[in-house]
Amino acid sequence: MLEQQSAPSMLLLLFWLCDGSRTAASPGFLRLPAQTRTASRPHVTAARLSHDSLIASVDKTRKRRCAQRSPRTVFIIDTATDMNGITKSRFEVFSNSDEALINKKLPKELLLRIFSYLDVVTLCRCAQVSKAWNVLALDGSNWQKIDLFNFQTDIEGRVVENISKRCGGFLRQLSLRGCLSVGDASMKTFAQNCRNIEHLNLNGCTKITDSTCISLSKFCSKLRHLDLTSCVSITNHALKALSEGCRMLENLNLSWCDQITSDGIEALSRGCISLRALFLRGCTQLDDTALKHLQKHCPELMTINMQSCTQITDDGFVSLCRGCHKLQMVCVSGCSNITDASLTALGLNCQWLKILEAARCSHVTDAGFTVLARNCHELEKMDLEECILVTDNTLVQLSIHCPRLQALSLSHCELITDDGIRHLSSSVCGQERLQVVELDNCPLITDITLEHLKSCQRLERIELYDCQQVSRAGIKRIRAHLPEIKVHAYFAPVTPPPSVHGGGQRLCRCCVIL
């Protein structure tokens, strides 16, 4: 991921990307206003600076010596930002002959290897140092991974087209996340030029339609990871195209593409049998039929996210579990029709499960979680928020059978008590693994829970919002025992203000992060 860049840095990058015909050696390359060029220099890692721009900062003796010597070039060797946000740089002075020695002494292959560790912006800057560095910086082998997220508002279609022309077959990974101006035409050019692309992120590119997927299908047969999150114009036609031309697809994100139906998933599953991860959050038209197609054709599936797919029921989920035994991450949060039957099927068929998100599945009970815990010993993270029927019995089973548990959300599980936390904290997972416990809106939790959690030496965070029986004193005690822990809680003010309408008294609670 690129760090946040200054405005001049963005201009450097975007000018280069938008005008593929110019190079550092050509007169028109990055012809920015003098003020802009000067402003950008303090942030440059490998940019050349005139010695005159620094001569005021050295003593008079140094000035005289420098004036008598041959022309020199000042390089910023490294930069650092202190706690006050002030950028400080370390400078070294080289003669022109010293600079040339770098290119003469080091073989091109080694210089290219060094350049391969630089990000997009730094490469653009290096391209301005000299003709030799321009050739090295713009070598296609250095442009295998490009992330333009930090420049999303400035990226237009022609930028993508020029990237594809410069990088061609070298490009393996491209992220255009949030680039709202990118459309189908530029993506068609991209697909034609970058046929070795493997990872493509189009998250939030709302102008993208089925046409882009058709282009990818025709030219990008090596595509393995594709993110189409929030590309709301995507339909079943896109999935049909991908299934025909991108059969190596392993990871596909269709979250919030709400025009997708079970017919699209059927086409996808028949063609892309190597799918390992499928994200379907907010695809509200999907029903059990979609899961049955995945069960038949995608046995390698390891991750599936069906958050808010409200038409999914036990019938489809049980079928999925019976055909996809390698599942390690499952999200059914917001699938309100899921019951213990689904948890039982998951426990009996998917023993390698590591992550389960079942928030707002209000029909699941201790019975389902008991089967799950007894069979899925690799569980690491569980989100049971608003599983309102869950009691301490689930925590007992987890403490016995799930020694790897690291994070557990029990928010709004109003039947959980101090005794359940006692079992959890005294177990192997509690003492050796547990890092996060969320207990907000658990009204039966008291300071006794905090006493139990003292034994969880790896604990990093506890959520206690609206746990009205937890006191400041209890939190101070656990913080004294675990000084690095973060505790989030609400507390009422000492004197509650009267009700605005003169009715019954209401507590005005203040957020305190300790």
Query: Averaged over 457-462, what is the pLDDT?
Result: 98
**pLDDT score at 45:** 36
Residues 86, 64 contacting (CB under 8 angstroms): no
**pLDDT score at 80:** 60
Q: Is the pLDDT of residue 22 over 90?
A: no
Using a pLDDT cut of 70, give the percent of the chain over it.
76
**pLDDT score at 464:** 97
Name residues whose C-beta falls within 8 Å of residue 187's C-beta, 6 or more positions apart in sequence. Answer: 160, 202, 208, 211, 212, 215, 216
Closest by Cα among 465, 466, 469, 485 to 477: 485
**pLDDT score at 441:** 96
Query: Averaged over 167-172, what is the pLDDT?
Result: 91
Token pair in block for residue 264: 């699209």
Residues 475, 482 contacting (CB under 8 angstroms): no
Burial code (b: 16+ CB inside 10 Å, e: under 16) for 75-89 equals bbeeeeeeeeeeeeb
- Tens-place pLDDT, residues 239-291: 999 999 999 999 999 999 999 999 999 999 999 999 999 999 999 999 999 99
Q: At 9, give phi and psi (nearest 5°).
A: -65, -40
**pLDDT score at 59:** 45
Cα dihedral 102→103→106→111 (10° resolution): 100
Angle (CA) 91 96 98, round 5°: 75
- Tens-place pLDDT, residues 382-435: 999 999 999 999 999 999 999 999 999 999 999 999 999 999 999 999 999 999
**pLDDT score at 457:** 96
Least confident interval from 70-74, 211-215, 375-379: 70-74
- Tens-place pLDDT, residues 42-84: 333 333 333 343 334 434 444 444 444 444 444 444 556 666 6
Q: Is the pLDDT of residue 102 over 70?
A: yes
Largest CA distance in the chain: 87
Q: Is the pLDDT of residue 332 over 90?
A: yes
Q: At 71, give phi and psi (nearest 5°).
A: -55, 140
**pLDDT score at 115:** 86
Token pair in block for residue 419: 């005794």
> Around 467, how many Cα atoms within 13 Å sit in the side-chain half-sphere?
33
Side chain identity, residue 373: A
Q: Is the pLDDT of residue 473 over 90?
A: yes
Q: Where are the domains of the chain?
A: 7-138, 143-216
Instruction: With H, G, I as helix, E, B as strand and everything else as coil, classify residue 436.
Output: strand
pLDDT averaged over the chain? 83
Residue 365 banded pLDDT, cuts 50, 70, 90: very high
Measure the CA–CA gap between 490 and 440, rounded to whole angstroms. 9
Q: Is the pLDDT of residue 361 over 80?
A: yes
Q: Which residues pair with 221 in a beta bridge?
A: none
Give the torsion sign (CA, 190, 191, 195, 197). Answer: positive
Measure the CA–CA gap between 367 and 330, rounded to whole angstroms. 19
Measure the CA–CA gap between 214 and 191, rounded to whole angstroms. 10
Cα dihedral 247→260→363→390 (10° resolution): 60
Measure the CA–CA gap between 126 and 116, rounded to whole angstroms. 12
**pLDDT score at 182:** 96
HEC profile of 87-133: EEEEEEEEEHHHHHHHHHHCCHHHHHHHHCCCCHHHHHHHCCCCHHH
Residues 296, 321 contacting (CB under 8 angstroms): no
Measure the CA–CA gap between 465 and 385, rounded to whole angstroms. 13
Measure the CA–CA gap between 319 and 268, rounded to whole angstroms. 18
Residues 198, 224 contacting (CB under 8 angstroms): yes
Least confident interval from 148-152, 383-387, 465-469: 148-152
